[in-house]
Amino acid sequence: MILGRASIRYSKALLGLAIEKNSADAVFGDMQHLEDVIESNKDLSMLLKSPIIRGDKKQDILNIIFKGAFSELTTAFIEIIVRKGREALLHQIANGYQKAYKQHNNIVTAEVTTAIKIDEKLKKEIVSKIKSDKTVEIAEKIDSDILGGYIIRIGDRQVDASVRKKLNELKQGFNNNPYIKDF
């Protein structure tokens, strides 16, 4: 997800306030929940982006949906965002907060793609293999199209040790045969 300037500024401001109030962990959980709900419910996403529906109605709907689910700081922050007419950015702000929180706490997310579900022992082995001075968290993704092996993506770096990649390399090697018959 590409974050805009406004959503980055709002998420950093929320992180700063949450750190000041010693509730950064609670707000992190709230932002994860908010992002999950908006991603899973397209109607809510469309409602937040709709210029036709007034802000006070959107606030009422959000209060009904998330009643008692968020900390006081998160609830107050969402009210300010809606009052300022920036509710369409809530999904991006939630995502940006999570990224800023992880950066602040030296947490790096390794996205591991495998053909089958991996067990806890293998997850720990992967974490130990990744040489980092940061805390590593694993985001597992299952894609049967890779046939076997794994793909590990951390930020903008990727290690592709999948069977699909190896098969494609073999195919390209056979297609680029330097020996050409002239007769």
pLDDT tens digit string along 133-171? Answer: 778 888 888 888 888 888 888 888 888 888 898 888 888
Helix and strand numbers, DSSP H then E, in the chain: 8, 4
Q: How confident is the model at residue 1 (pLDDT cuts 50, 70, 90)?
A: low
Shared domain check, 93 and 18: yes
Shared domain check, 143 and 164: yes
Q: How confident is the model at residue 92 (pLDDT cuts 50, 70, 90)?
A: very high
Q: What is the CATH number of the domain that holds 77?
A: 1.10.520.20
**Does residue 181 lie within any of the structural domains?**
no
Q: Mean of the per-residue pLDDT values for the chain? A: 87
What per-residue confidence (pLDDT) applies to 2? 66
Q: Is 177 a residue whose pLDDT tops 90?
A: no
Shared domain check, 141 and 91: no
Three-class SS state of 152 = strand
When divided into structural domains, the chain yields a total of 2
The separation between the first and the last C-alpha atoms of the chain, rounded to the nearest angstrom, is 55
Shared domain check, 87 and 36: yes
Percent pLDDT > 90 in the chain is: 43
pLDDT tens, position by position, 102-130: 999 988 888 888 888 888 888 888 888 77
Shared domain check, 93 and 27: yes
Task: Give phi and psi for 148, each to the nearest 5.
Answer: 175, 175
Shared domain check, 34 and 17: yes
* Contacts of residue 135, Cβ cutoff 8 Å, sequence gap at least 6: 105, 106, 107, 108
The answer to whether the CB of 153 falls within 8 A of the CB of 111 is yes
Which of 103, 129, 155 is the endpoint of a domain? 103
Three-class SS state of 156 = coil
Q: Is 27 a residue whose pLDDT tops 90?
A: yes
Structural domain of 146: 106-175
pTM confidence score:
0.77
Q: How confident is the model at residue 75 (pLDDT cuts 50, 70, 90)?
A: very high
| Residues paired with 140 in a beta bridge | 112
Shared domain check, 110 and 22: no
